[in-house]
Amino acid sequence: MIKTILLSSAALSVALLSACSPKSGKTETPATVETQSAPSSVNQAAINVINAEWTGPYGGVPPWDAIDPKVLNAALDQAMVAAQADIDQIADMKAMPTFDTVILAMERSGAVLDRASTLYGVHASNLSTPVMQAIQSEMSPKFSAFYDGITQNDKLFSKIKAVHENMDAEGLNAVQRRLVEDQYRSFVRQGANLSDGDKEILSTINSRLAGLSTKFGQNVQNDEENYPTIMNKTDLAGLPDWLVSSMANAAKGLGEDGKWAVTNTRSSMDPFLTYSTNRALRETVWNKYYGRGDNGGEFDNNAIITEILQLRYQRAQLLGYESHAHWALETRMAKTPQNAIDLMEAVWPAAIARATEEVADMQAVANSEGADIDIAPWDYRFYAEKVRKEKYDLDFNLVKPYLQMEKLREGMFYAAKRLYNFDFEQVTDVPVFHEDVRVWKVTNGNDLVGLWYFDPYARKGKRSGAWMNAYRNQHRMDNQDIKVIVSNNSNFVKPAPGEPVLISWDDASTMFHEFGHALHGLNSNVTYPSQSGTSVARDYVEFPSQLNEHWLETPEVLNTYAVHYETGKPIPADLLAKMRKAATFNQGFSTVEYLGSALIDMKLHMAGGDPIDPDAFERDTLAELGMPPQIVMRHRTPHFGHVFSGGYSAGYYSYMWSDTLTADAAEAFEEAGSFYDQATAKSLYDNIMSVGDTVDPADGFRAFRGRDVSIAPLMRKRGFPVPEEK
């Protein structure tokens, strides 16, 4: 489908965020690895497996067990040839351009490349090896050139333009018109109206950006894999048993039996900084994590950032935009950078004020203990936990035994059943790409909805964090009934056989969040592939996933699925009451660290085309904003993968934009008296979850809520003063 092809450069860049499993020792760089860039009689059969239509049950499934990743580049080369033939056929057509002969033909095009790109992206994110990294480096400029060749195809664009100008005469319905508008605008935004000389300049810029983004992600991967902190038993003071066990398993995975390790990822760093009483080690772990991509030498990202920003500015200017931020936001809900900045600046003062109060509370605790320190960034989590216990008598160590990953997965299924009538049945008749992956069949009554893959554990070659992938999107084009295939991926430490996986409250929220993305895909009910599921504006796509976090907190889930791993009893009522009372605790920290990243992202992309020193820009801009010295950006610039190797450039604000929608939508369920209210759930499905990109997001939200979004629920949710709305 042509829109998938056009968008897949961004989609692939997200998939190509570096793998982040811990590793010690020297990493072989991609440049030293040989790959097979051309098919031969020996490997053509392996290439055919990658490019073939998916067969098997459930409308066909990815052939994970039969893929030879060494030939992915050759398979993609052939898939691009096939996709180009599809495009040429449309461009060379002599008949009058119509919706059916141009737009629908583009929706049908590129099926081989779509499948191959999916397999490639999943391998890059989950099974990254030196060979795979070399293939990424090889393919990035090829993809860039291929997409540019499509959007700069004059004959093709002339046909799209003709359909765009003739929509009234064709009598297209609202969904079809939106599809045409999106296709036409996409081509214009990618340079279809430029002169031949400017198109050549644009292609050169895009190719260079593709290579730089890939290198950025690989540099971060290097620093995540090669900077673990290995510890002895004497270094474990203050750590709870579950964390000590997790660190022992992590060390074992690094070949350090009998020791303990904090890997250089957030899920490992965060709890260590929260509980360790060894301040010097806290500082060491903090510096390694927040110094990723900023260590000098071959894997330093600062020069890459400078060049990326200059190239993005040059591209925006070439396309007629004031800045990259103006270009990026044109198609999003926010529309302009100033609208996004207005929202962030409306929240920033309240967040700073709350963070200042939090620091004062922590400093008071440190002083009362005779610590003789000024609170530093590596102290924040440690003393925040002490304040939580003092103010709310709440120790999250007492909560964790009730948070079993598998039971919470069952809780996600329960809520999805209540809201969308989905049933989940684990199946074993489909191949998987790793032994840790499991698959569930999703049905609605007697009807198959699709498949859900779950890949929960960290491993070497898997990027850090948690995310959702769409392997196949729902659509009904050409009287088909294409079923959804989605996955959720996490990075929990795999336990010893027979032991449960105990996770933090934040990790539990993240599980529900990512499952919300999967539900967005599974609920899709549209005709055209390009408008399916999560194919919506970047600052809208996080809304359904953030909303789904609320069902973790419902009594129906907590009382049944948040049960103690030894006794099977639910979280005690008094502990739940403490959690609810402390719901807005530490919102200063979490909001400021997020907004620091979002504001820096936006300001970097509005700073013009002069070369900058990223470290100095970050430091000076945060000082101007009044960033407390005890807090750093959630993602410092040198490892800000969302922005420099993902799809969120000038778009990290999207999480707060979406959370404004989320908080307002959550209050709709509260006003109805239950998060399982059937009328509200049906409206959510009808106006948000099922419609994909067939309607303007603002119209969809307005239909659900009965009015435009309000910022007041967001401020209430975070415990901040609610401003008077104009």
How many CB atoms lie under 10 A from the CB of residue 372? 7
Residue whose token pair is 């059916």 = 100
Nearest residue to 18 via CA among 220, 249, 294, 276:
220
Joined tokens for residue 83: 């996709």
Residue whose token pair is 């203990």 = 369
Joined tokens for residue 452: 């859900």
Joined tokens for residue 491: 């990075």
Of 107, 224, 358, 514, which residue is the catalytic one? Answer: 514
What phi-psi label fits residue 725: left (phi over 0), alpha (psi between -120 and 50 degrees) or beta? beta
Question: Phi and psi dihedrals of 211, rounded to 5?
Answer: -65, -40
Residue whose token pair is 């508008």 = 181
Nearest residue to 689 via CA among 557, 514, 548:
548
Strand, helix or coil at 607? coil
CB contact burial 212-222 (16+ within 10 A = b; e otherwise): bbbbbbbbbbb
Q: If DSSP states are collapsed to H, E and C, what string results for 37-63?
A: CCCCCCCHHHHHHHHCCCCCCCCCCCC
CB contact burial 21-55 (16+ within 10 A = b; e otherwise): bbbbeebeebeeeebbeebeeebeebbeebbeebe
Q: How far apart are the first and last CA of the chain?
A: 44
Strand, helix or coil at 73? helix
Q: Is there a catalytic annotation at residue 181? A: no
How many CB atoms lie under 10 A from the CB of residue 15? 23
Q: How many residues make up the chain in this entry?
A: 726
Catalytic residues: 514
